[in-house]
Structure 1
Amino acid sequence: MILDGGLATHLETLGYDLSDELWSARLLMEDPEAILRAHLDYFAAGADVATTASYQASFPGLMRRGRNEHEAQALMQLSVELAVEARDANGGGVVAASVGPYGAYLADGAEYTGDYDLDERALLEWHRPRWEVLAGSGADVLACETIPSYAEARVIARLLEETPKVNAWIAFSCRDDERIRDGTPLERCAELFAGNPQVVALGVNCTSPAHIKSLIGRLEGSPIIVYPNSGETWDAEHRLWRGIADPVEFATAAVQWRDAGATYIGGCCRTTPEHIRLIRDRLEPSTEDDRTRV
């Protein structure tokens, strides 16, 4: 299955300034049609999945911007409705409701370190209200992504227990070939979800593509999902991306990820519809089932 690429990245190429703490979620308030267009562009490029603009849409974050609880919930639901509209216009596909990490709400780079100011119990209470909205939103799957912290992984495992009819994929953000951002070995994190039938895929996102093949080798027992960054690196201090990445090289590497065992492949930060088009060209699924099983 081919995932989409960076939603915010594509919105920026369409001319939107997303340099605030809500990132692409700001457009749920200001220009939802832009999000719809971005989803449609990814489907046109060959993606099988539309990942919603809810990554940075939390109750505290939206309420900090003047929305009340009801309005915040409506905006999260809107993120799913836009993806559903794009899927239906495309004639098919999967809607994945993005569940971003607590660090994304902090908007201080903590999603790249897992250095949080909440203990596990408080983290559970922070996640639960948004989780409940997205779990009941009509999305096909929850995309629990960019997880940098073992404690946060434990929280997500607990939330899955509380919502047994919900399916999810779990994707960790990793700092090297072995460990997630807080230093926990990837295998230890994966053990939290071993044998859970709600988990449709387990893997890595928002990580350098140089680490992906090795990280795939550390996962077993579930279908594997990978959607790394373009190869550029984020400078949190100066809030900019550094380096140059080649979409052709990225798509070529995707063949290696598939051959190493990945079933779900796409891109994260700084990847575009062009990356997805090139991946689709190289990774045509062998059967229709490969494109629809979540």
Structure 2
Amino acid sequence: MTLNHPSFTILDGGMGRLLERLGAPFRLPEWSALSLIEAPDYVTQAHQAYVDSGADIITTNSYGLVPHMLGEKRFAAEGRALADRAGRLARAVADAAGRRVLVAGSLPPPFESYRPERFHADGAPRIIASLVAGLRPHVDLWLIETQSSTAEGLTALSAVIGDGKPVFVSYTLKDEDGRTGPAELRSGEPVDEAVRKTLAAGAGGVFFNCSQPEVMGEAVRIARRTVNEAGASAAIGVYANAFAPEPPSDTPYAGISDIRADLDPANYLKWIESWLGDGACVVGGCCGIGPEHIDAIRTLREVRKAP
């Protein structure tokens, strides 16, 4: 199965904020998982909105299906079944699309987003295995998302690398306001090292997500150069968030982040064009990027294809 569209592939946008806009049940710490539990029809609506907007890939609503968001008791009792539900909902929308739409199985950080120091290699496989078991029958590819370190990313990669489905690892980058210096994962690892390790472990490509758009371009350029130097054909993807800059906090899920007013579809599209020029071949959006942004990306592709 090839991922790449003849020009570029369009990934969907964020799930949590779209569910909130649709009126779905929404609170912390469950985040997007709450709709899956209490009102799954909203999840179907969200997937359909992205298909209608032109997404080539929709992502399962499984990001919140981890113990620190569901609670350990609910995860143990319902985690696999909820992952199965997430996969079924996405698969049904993709199959009814009337065109080729792929389903990406989202594998999130098993402990906490943006916190590489909280990753525990011994405990991660149990959490990942539950998600994989529920999602596997329904997905076309694996998208290991918002990984803050290669230890996180490669642990998840090892759980799915042999099952015959393409696997893509997406890293989140240091993006504090006014940041200067080389592109790094949130762990401090240089992007080029992360790309080399990830490709060597068998990934079909390296993406960058859930960081501010300002830090994405350098990472894409480094990744493209690293892929080219390796003589590989790996995909490079990017999907930024629209969060306003905020100081680090020691309190997990202290509140719902504000969304930047300057990342409307027209302005976000400028970033998309820049990333495509930098060497990305898969583009979409993360938190706060919605169907209207994806529709703008589809229009860009149609314009590029026009004679």
State the TM-score, normalized to the length of structure 2.
Answer: 0.82
2:79 is the counterpart of 1:46:
no
| CA RMSD after TM alignment | 2.4
Q: Secondary structure at the match of 1:120?
A: coil
Alignment partner for residue 236 of structure 2, among 220, 224, 228?
A: 224
Deviations 1:237-291 (A, max 9, x none): 552324423321111210111111101100001111111111111134978xxxx
What do the CA deviations read for 1:96-154 (whole angstroms, capped 9, x no partner)?
111010234xxxxxx123220x53233334323323332x2220011100001232123
Give the aligned partner of residue 103 of structure 1: 111
Corresponding residue number in structure 2 for 1:115 = 117
**Superposition map of 1:140-219 within 5 A:** 140-161=140-161, 163-176=162-175, 177-195=182-200, 199-219=203-223
Task: Give 1:87 shift.
Answer: 0.9
Deviations 1:47-74 (A, max 9, x none): 11111110111367546464663x4322
- Relative to the length of structure 1, the TM-score reads 0.85
Residue 39 of structure 1: how far off its partner (Å): 0.4
How far has the Cα of 1:84 moved from its partner?
1.0
Instruction: Return the match for 1:278 from 296, 304, 307.
Output: 296
C-alpha separation in 2, matches of 1:130 and 1:273:
26
1:249 aligns with 2:267: yes
Alpha carbons 1:227, 1:267 under 8 Å: kept: yes
Q: Partner residue of 2:6?
A: none
Asked whether 1:93 is paired with 2:101, we answer yes
Evaluate the alpha carbon distance shift between residue 231 and residue 245 of structure 1 in structure 2; reply closer, same or farther with a 3 A threshold: farther
What is the aligned length? Answer: 276
CA contact (8 A) 1:231 1:244 kept: no
Partner SS state of residue 241, structure 1: coil
For structure 1, the 5+ residue unaligned runs are: 105-110, 288-294
The aligned amino acid for 1:143 is: L
Distance 1:67 1:229, change over 3 A: closer
Please, which of 5, 24, 47 is the counterpart of residue 13 of structure 2?
Answer: 5
Within 2, Cα distance between the matches of 1:267 and 1:150?
A: 22
Q: Out of 78, 83, 107, which is 2:85 matched to? A: 78
3-state DSSP class of the match of 1:171? strand
User: Sequence identity of aligned pairs in percent?
Assistant: 26
Structure 2 unaligned runs (5+)? 1-8, 176-181
User: CA, structure 1 residues 216+181, in 2 after alignment: closer, same or farther (shift >3 Å)?
Assistant: same
CA offsets per residue over residues 15-67 of structure 1, 9 Å max, x none?
A: 23422222111111111110000000111111111111101113675464646
